[in-house]
Structure 1
Amino acid sequence: MTTKKNLIRQTNLNRVLSLLYQHQKLYSSEIVEATKISMVTINSLVKELVDDGFLFEHPNKPREIGRPATQYEFNYDRKHSLLFVFREENKQLYVDIFTIDLKGERLAKQTRPFFDVSPSAFQLLIANHLKSASTIASLGFSIPAKISEGMITSSWYEKMDHWPIHQLIEEVTDLPYHIQNDAHLFTIGHCLLKQLPLSETIVGIYYPQNSMPGVTLLAKSSLIEGHDSLAGEAKYFPMFLDQGSPETPGELAENLSSLIATYNALIAPDKFVLAIDPDIKPLVEESLAQNLYLAKQPNSPLFIYLDDLETSIVLGLHWLIYHHTPFDLACY
């Protein structure tokens, strides 16, 4: 019976947390109205959340109508996360390091080259940033790689292949962490940013210039991963195995057009989310308009161009860290 009571109380605590997280400030009577939980229980729950530092209490707060009442405010600074975003620029790997609060607001950012692409350099990077980040409660990693059962199976120019990535992180810190492919995070983050339903079938393609494309397959709010998380790994298509990364913007546009026609036939998505350099968008649109295969296919997807890479990746990592918690961005 005690276990059942504890479970019910934790469920109610999460409901109150989620409600305040979404609305930021609410009076106790508004919490009761929204949750249908009794005032006595709500008073007990919010007291615990105030004591834990998740809520601020503003007693006797004046109201527009009625007598003053207690108002509660969510504390977005209660937990911070440290995000490591590995990205390519001119065939060189860089890492952007963000500190974010529970709302996903960027509190700090650093950028540095990651010349030595090695497990020891990766661990040193984490350790050095944790030394000066005492408020960090969790970590998030976006990497140009696919991961299966703690092992990198396919990565940027094969530089990280076969890294035991989970082991490497756990040797440095015991903080909770989440790690995911960059194309997946760009796609999910942009859908959240534009309030596009993750329940649809979506193909995301992240295609930096002079690089290989990363592809995300999303259906019914779940990623389609495949064996060893290699589903959609476009660099293994015959065209890429033969010719490698594109040398010109025109070649990239043609490659992207061919990829889209292929995935449109295989997946028949509602939408394509395309993360490309804005300068080549006209070339891509022209190539898509001239693609004879697309014109013959019955599925007519919507094309959405990702216009804010940084915001999208931070949102994607926030979603990854707090998915299925009271701070889940996809819940509202």
Structure 2
Amino acid sequence: MERGTNLIREQNLKTVRRLMNRRVRATKAELSRESGLSVVALQSLLQAMEERGEIRREGMFQPDHGRPAAVYRYEERAQMVLSICMYEKQGEDTAVFSACDLLGNVVETKEIPLVEPEADSFDGEIASFLEAYPSIAAVGFGIPGEAVDGRLVTSDYERLTGADICGHVQRNFGRQAFVQNDVNAAIAGYCARRQTPEDQVAVGIYVPKKYGPGMGVWIHGRLWCGRDGMVGEVEGLLPEVNWRQPGEAASRRNALARLAKVCILMYNPHRLVIYGDVDQGGMEEMIREALGEPLGRIMMPQMEFCADLRPDFEAGILSMGLERVRGY
């Protein structure tokens, strides 16, 4: 019986946290109307949130009729997220550090060049951000590569391959940490920023200049990562193509059209997003022709080209971090 009561209370807390995150300021009466919880039930929940520093009282509201009511304010910096996104910027390897509050506001960003990074290469910047924002509760790494249980099993950065960067952060800074593939994070961020309906499928293909392509799949409101999070290793689909050599632009465009064809046939997405410095001219028609008739007419998704991976990439890592710390 006690376990059931605790589960109900925890669910009610999640409901109130979600409402306060959306409203920022609210009275008990307003929360009661929107949540369906009684004012009596809310009293103990709000008290618990106050004691944890999740909300604070911010003055009184005087209605036209009745008693004044306390106004509760959401503490958006009670817990924060630090994202570290590694990507290729104008052909140079770069790491972008961003601190984000519970409302999703990025409060500080810093870029540094990446030169043969190792697990401890980020320690100085992490320490600096934690000093400025001690309430950072989660650190998220966005990487070009794949991780299993927090350990990098593949990486475009040789010295990071095999590194347990999550364990390193947890041991040295006492914060939870997670790792996500760059294009996985980007397609998740794309869908979050555009509020893509949950009944749709979106696929992202990232084609950097110096490395092989990768793919991310978003199905019905969530990333689909497979058994070990390794979905998206599409470089091997066309083994005859050496993506890591500049080569002729025409041959790369043809290879990309073939790769997009395979992704469309596999996932039949509503949206296909191609990231990277890609010549868009005629690309959509090339993909349609690669599919052939009648599939090119029936299966062709809504296409979008994004030269800059960073906005969606960063949004994806931050949204994943916020899921971990918001408490709902």
TM-score range, shorter chain: 0.7 to 0.9
CA distance in 1, matches of 2:227, 2:161: 16
Contact map agreement 1:102 1:327 (CA 8 A) in 2: no
Map residues 27-66 of structure 1 onto 2, 5 A cutoff.
Answer: 27-63=27-63, 66=65
CA distance in 1, matches of 2:16, 2:111: 37
Aligned-pair CA distance for 1:113: 0.7
1:228-277 deviation per Cα after TM superposition (whole angstroms, max 9, x unaligned) = 43322122223465453444554443332111101111222222122233
2:256 corresponding residue in structure 1: 256
2:70 corresponding residue in structure 1: 70
Report the CA distance shift for 1:48/1:141 in structure 2 as closer, same or farther (over 3 A). same
CA distance in 1, matches of 2:325, 2:122: 28
Q: Which amino acid aligns with 1:161?
A: T
RMSD: 2.8
Query: Unmatched 5+ residue regions in structure 1?
Result: none
Aligned-pair CA distance for 1:103: 1.2
1:236 corresponding residue in structure 2: 236
Contact map agreement 1:91 1:211 (CA 8 A) in 2: no
Report the CA distance shift for 1:164/1:324 in structure 2 as closer, same or farther (over 3 A). closer
Contact map agreement 2:81 2:138 (CA 8 A) in 1: yes
CA distance in 2, matches of 1:192, 1:137: 21
Query: Is it true that 1:24 corresponds to 2:27 in the alignment?
Result: no
Report the CA distance shift for 1:52/1:287 in structure 2 as closer, same or farther (over 3 A). same
Deviates most, 186-195 or 145-154: 145-154
Name the % identity.
22
Contact map agreement 1:264 1:299 (CA 8 A) in 2: yes
How many aligned positions are there? Answer: 325
Q: Which amino acid aligns with 2:170?
A: E
1:288 corresponding residue in structure 2: 287
Report the CA distance shift for 1:78/1:226 in structure 2 as closer, same or farther (over 3 A). closer
TM-score (norm 1): 0.85
1:88-139 deviation per Cα after TM superposition (whole angstroms, max 9, x unaligned) = 2354321011111111211111111110322342455545554554332221
Q: Which amino acid aligns with 1:69?
A: A
Aligned-pair CA distance for 1:148: 1.5
CA distance in 2, matches of 1:167, 1:324: 17
1:172-215 deviation per Cα after TM superposition (whole angstroms, max 9, x unaligned) = 22211221111111100111111102442221112233432121
Aligned-pair CA distance for 1:35: 1.6
Query: Is it true that 1:271 corresponds to 2:271 in the alignment?
Result: yes
CA distance in 1, matches of 2:46, 2:282: 55
Report the CA distance shift for 1:107/1:221 in structure 2 as closer, same or farther (over 3 A). same
1:281-322 deviation per Cα after TM superposition (whole angstroms, max 9, x unaligned) = 335335335x34255424232223347644322321222123
1:83 corresponding residue in structure 2: 83
CA distance in 1, matches of 2:292, 2:178: 37
1:152-174 deviation per Cα after TM superposition (whole angstroms, max 9, x unaligned) = 22221655322233333333222
Aligned-pair CA distance for 1:216: 0.7
2:113 corresponding residue in structure 1: 113
TM-score (norm 2): 0.86
CA distance in 1, matches of 2:209, 2:244: 12
Query: Is it true that 1:160 corresponds to 2:146 in the alignment?
Result: no
Map residues 172-251 of structure 1 onto 2, 5 A cutoff.
Answer: 172-226=172-226, 228-239=228-239, 242=242, 244-247=244-247, 249-251=249-251
Q: Which amino acid aligns with 2:106?
A: R
Report the CA distance shift for 1:327/1:51 in structure 2 as closer, same or farther (over 3 A). closer
Contact map agreement 2:150 2:178 (CA 8 A) in 1: no
Aligned-pair CA distance for 1:31: 0.9
Aligned-pair CA distance for 1:22: 1.4
